[in-house]
A and B are shown apart, each in its own frame.
Chain A
Amino acid sequence: MSDSDLLLSMRGVCKSFGVVQANQQVDLLLKAGDILGLLGENGAGKTTLMNILFGTYQADQGSISIQGQPVEIHSSADALELGVGMVHQHFHLVPRHTVLENLMLGRPGKGGRLDQTGARDRLEEIGKHYGLKLNPDAIVSELTIGEQQRLEIIKALFRKAKILILDEPTAVLTPKESEGLFSALRALADGGMGIIFITHKLYEVREVTNRVVVMRGGAVTSVVEDPRAVTEGSLAQMMCGHELTPPEKTTSQLRDPLLKLSGISTRIPNRPFLKDVDMVVHGGEILGIAGVSGNGQRELADVIAGILPPSEGKIEVKGNTITQSSPRKMQKLKIGRIPEDRMTTGLVTTLPLSSSMVLPWINHPNFSRLGILRLKAIREFTEAMISRFGIRAIGPEVRTGTLSGGNLQKALLARELAFDPEVLLASQPTRGLDVAAADFVHRKFLELREAGAAIILISEDLEELFTLSDRIMVMYEGCVHGEQSIADASVEKIGLMMAGAEAA
């Protein structure tokens, strides 16, 4: 196929960040009307490649041609000129501005003023043509996540994009909303657009794409011309290079209830409210909490972590009611907490690893006495954790931020497990980790469960929830919308509950 028939061709793209080779000699071809799946696990290089296409990064080597013409993309402005649009995983919207203001961003006005009427007209046109409608005067922070994503797509259409890149778009959608997205994409492709769909979810690839490029470790491992003709298993092989063997899970041995929340409500402005949440978790079980992000899971995690004091309701740990929760109190009560953002809330990137590791335990007699630090003990503890958890770090004094994502998560895990917690709260524990690291984390959770601890696993990854949980609870609009034991649960039922419907 010559380049002139193609909408897009990327050839021989290479990109390194320091010693990490994010892209190695990658080729990618796209025709008009294609929905190309870019499949790979976290860290495979998919997002890097697309960021090069969108001008956020510059490749070290390689060439890009659009509609047969070689092009140089030095910035997002260039990419937009050339008709490339991107919907990022974390939306690039301004929450305080209106839909219209977000659409007018970066575009020339009319006679020095903002072209409001022109923008409104175009928005209406797009709504009619593609079925993607939004209220132009709505404030973005008040839109649902699905609507915000729609806005991102409309932004690309506004710029007359010919090539649309979507980076893990279904991560924030319910199964039903995902369906809606897929139909919209099919309509766009039928209209002549070329779509690149980055994902790590196998069923999506078979659902909506007509060609798949599989990446692993920065290189393309295979190109599949008809994803539906291939089994999920073989796709997984191409993605991970080995068979996925989920860890063994023994039947749960339920022990006493360790943590109980009754009637918990929170009322913090600008954040989702929790409404009358009841939850119980027993020793020896893993309670999975499912839900599309933004439905209160974060607030629930913060309440359990002690950072967010509830305005109503009761927290009981091992039968004792806690009056004023605080992180320190929760720690003392042997509740380990792994926060969602490991770089911002969990660890301190500019301080040495040893500081990050002992942060919550600084007043523990092991690490200080009468206010004086026991530096040797701290160092030895860090070294022990490095070896026990297989953390790849040169030593305890390296700056925390120089570790890779997987190792950071191991460090966090090591820290929280250091003093044998009885309850472990884990929020999005394997986000951004490659399969080996994720597997390590999963195995550790199961070990803990065997030992009789309780684990609360909040995750947007349904696969992870289904592999590990004994029970799955669904959060929707700040309430517990339903609960199923793992035996009764199915992706369909959970998906329905995540979208607010009743499960059959």
Chain B
Amino acid sequence: MDEILSQIFHIGFFAALIRIATPFILATIGELFAERSGVLNLGIEGIMLFGAMSGFTMAYFSNSLWLGVLAAMLTGMLMAILMGFLTVSLGLSQHVSGIGVTLLSTGFAFFFYRLIFGQPSTPPNIKAFTPVGIPVLMDIPWVGPVLFQQAALTYLALLLVPLSAFLLFQTPWGLNLRTVGENPHAADSAGVNVSAMRYQGLMISGALMGAAGAFLVMVQFNAFTFGVISGRGWVCIALVVFGQWGPWKSAAGALLFALIDALQLRLQASSAINLPYQVFLMMPFVLTIVTMTLVSRNARAPSALLKPFRKEER
């Protein structure tokens, strides 16, 4: 037991944890903005994949990782606009629209990747983001290497948390967005444009989900594979519930999940425990289901979540 603990809990582990948590934080906060405005964005899995693919492609051909990130975010926003058209402008079922956007985005990702890269014997890869150390801070014992020697995108993700909290709770825009998710009629009669706000929430979610996908192919791995997302998007849906729709708690949930994920990777690699590797792969999903079960009963979702806003109904 001691051996396992020492194998696992060292600095490298915690640094990896932050890295693993990054895409979860990005995508979860993205989803948070959408849900706070009243729209459940189930396109998350597909958008992350399509974002990853377009980000990778742009990075590969332009030799600029940041252009890749931009491309990923734009792709995400585009698909989110489609989601908005279906659910906000047309008022269609958010559940089915989300599945539709995921399927479509996934289809696009596979198609365009194959079209552009074909089926080479060695899959194309790029030079991943190198960690950027922050001077002075990175020299703090223990905390330094863990928190301050990460990829730039990770710093952005971590800063996103307090930024989102500020946006949502300290600005008029945030108040309007939250109201649109609680009582859109109240927002409407106060002069807020409900559709516009929901589109904005969705576009932010799309951009962040794309960024999360980009992170996976540019930091965690250095190539795009069809299975690069593998259910992470769905987990983020659960993380929003776990985080009670708040940025700090959702980020905490992402860290917790990353902990499980990181742990599972180490345990797989360690010789101490002898279980098929699939058990470890499965663990995060099972734990997500368990957590959702414990949390959902008292969950207080934004009141207007899932309800399309139609002016002439009251």
Chain A residues near B (Cβ < 8 Å): 17, 54, 56-57, 75-77, 80-81, 86, 88, 90-97, 101-102, 104-109, 112-114, 155
In the complex the two chains form, is B172's CB within 8 Å of A114's CB? Answer: yes
B193 to chain A, nearest CB (A): 7
- The residues of B that contact A106 with a CB separation of less than 8 Å are 172, 176, 187, 190-192
Q: A54-B189, A80-B191, A109-B171 are in contact. List 19 more A-B contacts (CB 8 A).
A: A57-B311, A57-B312, A76-B188, A76-B189, A77-B193, A86-B189, A92-B188, A92-B189, A93-B186, A94-B179, A95-B303, A96-B300, A105-B175, A105-B187, A105-B192, A106-B172, A108-B172, A113-B170, A155-B190
- The residues of A that contact B175 with a CB separation of less than 8 Å are 97, 101, 104-105, 114
Residue of B nearest to A54 (CB): B189
A80 to chain B, nearest CB (A): 5
In the complex the two chains form, is B172's CB within 8 Å of A94's CB? Answer: no
- The residues of B that contact A91 with a CB separation of less than 8 Å are 186
A281 to chain B, nearest CB (A): 33
B65 to chain A, nearest CB (A): 31
In the complex the two chains form, is B172's CB within 8 Å of A75's CB? Answer: no
Task: Give A105 to B170 CA distance when docked, in angstroms.
Answer: 12
- A96 in contact with B182 given A76-B191, A114-B171 (CB within 8 Å): yes
> What 0/1 pattern do residues 168 to 209 of B give for CB contact below 8 A with A?
001110011011001101111111110000000000000000
B302 to chain A, nearest CB (A): 9
- A88 in contact with B189 given A94-B179, A96-B303, A97-B179 (CB within 8 Å): yes
In the complex the two chains form, is A77's CB within 8 Å of B172's CB? Answer: no
Task: Give A95 to B183 CA distance when docked, in angstroms.
Answer: 9
- The residues of A that contact B193 with a CB separation of less than 8 Å are 75, 77
Residue of A nearest to B182 (CB): A94
In the complex the two chains form, is A75's CB within 8 Å of B191's CB? Answer: yes
| 24 interchain pairs, CB-CB under 8 A | A56-B311, A57-B311, A57-B312, A76-B188, A76-B190, A80-B190, A80-B191, A92-B186, A93-B183, A94-B186, A96-B182, A96-B300, A105-B175, A105-B186, A105-B190, A106-B172, A106-B187, A106-B191, A106-B192, A107-B172, A113-B172, A114-B171, A114-B172, A114-B175
Task: Give A219 to B282 CA distance when docked, in angstroms.
Answer: 68
- The residues of B that contact A92 with a CB separation of less than 8 Å are 183, 185-186, 188-190
In the complex the two chains form, is A104's CB within 8 Å of B188's CB? Answer: no
- The residues of B that contact A112 with a CB separation of less than 8 Å are 171
B142 to chain A, nearest CB (A): 36
Task: Give A86 to B188 CA distance when docked, in angstroms.
Answer: 12
B305 to chain A, nearest CB (A): 13
Chain B residues near A (Cβ < 8 Å): 170-172, 175-176, 178-179, 182-183, 185-193, 300, 303, 311-312, 314
Task: Give A101 to B171 CA distance when docked, in angstroms.
Answer: 11
- A105 in contact with B188 given A57-B312, A112-B171, A114-B172 (CB within 8 Å): no
- The residues of B that contact A93 with a CB separation of less than 8 Å are 183, 186
Residue of B nearest to A109 (CB): B172
- The residues of A that contact B170 with a CB separation of less than 8 Å are 113-114
Residue of A nearest to B190 (CB): A106
- Top 5 A-B residue pairs of the complex, sorted by shortest distance between their CB atoms: A77-B191, A106-B190, A92-B186, A109-B172, A105-B190
Most chain A CB within a 10 A radius of its CB, from B176, B190, B300 = B190
Task: Give A54 to B314 CA distance when docked, in angstroms.
Answer: 15
- The residues of A that contact B187 with a CB separation of less than 8 Å are 105-106
Task: Give A481 to B43 CA distance when docked, in angstroms.
Answer: 53
Task: Give A91 to B303 CA distance when docked, in angstroms.
Answer: 15
Residue of A nearest to B191 (CB): A77
B188 to chain A, nearest CB (A): 6
A88 to chain B, nearest CB (A): 7
B162 to chain A, nearest CB (A): 14
- The residues of B that contact A57 with a CB separation of less than 8 Å are 311-312
B229 to chain A, nearest CB (A): 34
Task: Give A56 to B184 CA distance when docked, in angstroms.
Answer: 13
- The residues of A that contact B189 with a CB separation of less than 8 Å are 54, 56, 76, 86, 88, 92
Residue of B nearest to A78 (CB): B191
Option from A76, A86, A104 in Cβ contact (under 8 Å) with B172: A104
- The residues of B that contact A90 with a CB separation of less than 8 Å are 314
Task: Give A304 to B172 CA distance when docked, in angstroms.
Answer: 45
- The residues of B that contact A54 with a CB separation of less than 8 Å are 189
In the complex the two chains form, is A94's CB within 8 Å of B312's CB? Answer: no
Task: Give A137 to B311 CA distance when docked, in angstroms.
Answer: 30
Most chain A CB within a 10 A radius of its CB, from B182, B186, B189 = B189
Task: Give A197 to B178 CA distance when docked, in angstroms.
Answer: 31
B110 to chain A, nearest CB (A): 36
Residue of B nearest to A76 (CB): B189
Task: Give A112 to B166 CA distance when docked, in angstroms.
Answer: 11
Residue of A nearest to B192 (CB): A106
- A97 in contact with B182 given A76-B189, A76-B190, A106-B176 (CB within 8 Å): yes
Task: Give A75 to B189 CA distance when docked, in angstroms.
Answer: 8
Task: Give A108 to B172 CA distance when docked, in angstroms.
Answer: 6
B185 to chain A, nearest CB (A): 5
- The residues of A that contact B303 with a CB separation of less than 8 Å are 95-96
Residue of A nearest to B174 (CB): A114
Residue of B nearest to A93 (CB): B186
- The residues of B that contact A77 with a CB separation of less than 8 Å are 191-193
B244 to chain A, nearest CB (A): 12
- The residues of A that contact B182 with a CB separation of less than 8 Å are 94-97
- The residues of B that contact A105 with a CB separation of less than 8 Å are 175-176, 179, 186-187, 190, 192
Task: Give A109 to B170 CA distance when docked, in angstroms.
Answer: 10
In the complex the two chains form, is A94's CB within 8 Å of B183's CB? Answer: yes
- The residues of B that contact A113 with a CB separation of less than 8 Å are 170-172
- The residues of A that contact B185 with a CB separation of less than 8 Å are 92
Task: Give A208 to B182 CA distance when docked, in angstroms.
Answer: 35
Task: Give A91 to B176 CA distance when docked, in angstroms.
Answer: 17
- The residues of B that contact A107 with a CB separation of less than 8 Å are 172, 190
